[in-house]
């Protein structure tokens, strides 16, 4: 069996908000600056962290999730990256053991050593207990060590280091500073493209990490994290179901929730991709179908509302029975009205009846799948994550289901040539279903099948 070996590490934490992305990006930037080829992956469904990780590493960042993307896809991506890289870094999701499947499941499945990042700003001796628990909670988990984050002083760092039962697992401490912190908002990190000093922040984080034992590891030191990645089974080549189809994809600060793997999947189906900005462009590109992905329409509501020329062009597109697939934020802009958390209402494009309202709390979160009638290949997997709710007279044409949870998930609305849902799809999970979303109803089959219970992972 063909194999490739490469140093690899999974950056985890006891909970969200500990600084995983900052450390992952700093580590990637540090080794990229040293001339090493670094490939970074993100565990779980996440659109925003990869913006920073791509900037830090200079390479595309793909998602790894044992349920959503599947073990075979994870195996193939890791093997391909190990073939060309000097270091693989996987950023975990939430806490190390949170979720089903968890970051720990991924690490154990592929033999990845785990680096724990712990926000130690409000602890001393408990740091050692927490590190010990993370390391030993599950047998058979490879352990790289622990890094203390947001540390107040050298004295504080010394207290944390002395609390460890195994001193060799101390990989250093990062200070409590703001010059390299990554800005956040309600759906996660602010995209790197929106931050004028993004690279300055990454370099500052890399410089801080360079002063730690972790940051001082050279090529020889990284060999302790060698992982052997076996060649995956050959993946089937999808039929060119979208050959001759041009898909126009919204892509700007308002619509930035796009997996690179989804773009790859559309191209593999034979589609030609063109991009446009609903914030800046007055007309749709010439196309056969439109994809409005998720993002932050609520932050750009006034500009989107004012772009009546693009709205009218999209209306003509739909009137010609050309498909539109709208996910989450892409769906929000199609309703008649968007009401922000401040209560201010903005007129949207009115291609769907009803309104959406931003809530102060998360409205839905978790894995989902969508079954389409006539698609024998299997369900389209993905997830949901949104703060808004919609009020519409439209009756759902179907609903997604969620693993291990009875009852319906997100609604899928069909209105003429428009398909819309809060559901974010992972396109490679079912190429045939994706093709159905972007083909006219006379050629495709983008009709939800009867709801079915989704098996737990």
The residues carrying an active-site annotation are 328
Please give the C-alpha separations between residue 76 and each of 69, 89, 102, 231, 426, in angstroms, as whole numbers: 11, 16, 19, 7, 16
Q: Which token pair is 116?
A: 């724990």
Alpha-carbon distance 155 to 164, whole Å? 15
Are residues 291 and 249 in contact, defined by beta-carbon separation less than 8 angstroms? yes
Are residues 53 and 25 in contact, defined by beta-carbon separation less than 8 angstroms? yes
Distance between alpha carbon 276 and the CA centroid of its chain, in Å? Answer: 21
DSSP per-residue string spanning 288-323: SEEEE-BS-GGGGHHHHHH-HHHHHHHHHHHHTT--
Alpha-carbon distance 304 to 278, whole Å? 7
Q: Which token pair is 262?
A: 């989804």
Are residues 376 and 432 in contact, defined by beta-carbon separation less than 8 angstroms? yes
Return phi, psi of residue 38, to 5°: -115, 130
Q: Which token pair is 52?
A: 């920073």
For residue 364, what is the enclosing H or E element? strand 364-370
Are residues 60 and 451 in contact, defined by beta-carbon separation less than 8 angstroms? no
- Specify the DSSP class assigned to residue 94: S
Q: Which token pair is 48?
A: 């925003």
């Amino acid at each position: 069996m063909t194999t490739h070996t490469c140093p690899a590490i999974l950056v985890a934490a006891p909970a969200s908000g500990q600084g995983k992305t900052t450390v992952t990006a700093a580590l990637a930037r540090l080794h990229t600056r040293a001339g090493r080829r670094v490939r970074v992956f993100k565990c779980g469904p996440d659109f925003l962290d990869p913006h920073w990780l791509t900037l830090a590493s200079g390479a595309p960042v793909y998602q790894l999730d044992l349920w959503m993307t599947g073990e075979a896809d994870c195996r193939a991506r890791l093997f391909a990256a190990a073939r060309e890289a000097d270091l693989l870094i996987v950023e975990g999701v939430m806490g190390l053991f949170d979720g089903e499947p968890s970051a720990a499941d991924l690490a154990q499945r592929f033999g990845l050593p785990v680096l724990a990042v712990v926000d130690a700003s409000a602890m001393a001796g408990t740091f050692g207990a927490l590190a010990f628990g993370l390391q030993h909670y599950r047998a058979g988990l490879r352990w790289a060590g622990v890094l203390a984050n947001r540390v107040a002083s050298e004295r504080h760092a010394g207290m944390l280091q002395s609390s460890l039962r195994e001193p060799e697992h101390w990989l250093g401490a990062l200070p409590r500073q703001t010059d390299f912190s990554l800005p956040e908002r309600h759906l996660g990190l602010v995209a790197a493209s929106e931050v004028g000093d993004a690279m300055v922040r990454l370099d500052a984080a890399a410089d801080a990490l360079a002063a730690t034992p972790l940051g001082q590891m050279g090529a020889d030191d990284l060999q302790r994290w060698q992982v052997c990645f076996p060649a995956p089974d050959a993946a089937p080549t999808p039929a060119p179901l979208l050959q001759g189809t041009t898909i126009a994809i919204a892509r700007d600060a308002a619509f930035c929730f796009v997996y690179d793997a989804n773009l790859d999947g559309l191209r593999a189906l034979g589609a030609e991709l063109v991009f446009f900005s609903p914030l800046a462009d007055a007309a749709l590109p010439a196309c056969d179908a439109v994809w409005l992905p998720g993002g932050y329409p609520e932050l750009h509501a006034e500009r989107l509302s004012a772009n009546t020329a693009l709205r009218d062009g999209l209306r003509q597109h739909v009137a010609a029975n050309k498909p539109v697939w709208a996910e989450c934020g892409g769906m929000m802009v199609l309703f008649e009205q968007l009401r922000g958390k401040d209560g201010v209402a903005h007129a949207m494009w009115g291609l769907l009846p009803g309104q959406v309202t931003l809530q102060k709390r998360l409205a839905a979160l978790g894995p989902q799948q969508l079954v389409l009638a006539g698609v024998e290949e299997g369900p389209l997997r993905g997830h949901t994550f949104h703060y808004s709710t919609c009020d519409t007279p439209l009756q759902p044409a179907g609903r997604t289901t969620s693993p291990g949870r009875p009852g319906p998930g997100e609604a899928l609305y069909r209105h003429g040539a428009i398909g819309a849902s809060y559901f974010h799809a992972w396109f490679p999970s079912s190429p045939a279903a994706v093709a159905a979303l972007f083909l006219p109803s006379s050629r495709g089959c983008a009709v939800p099948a009867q709801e079915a219970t989704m098996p737990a992972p």
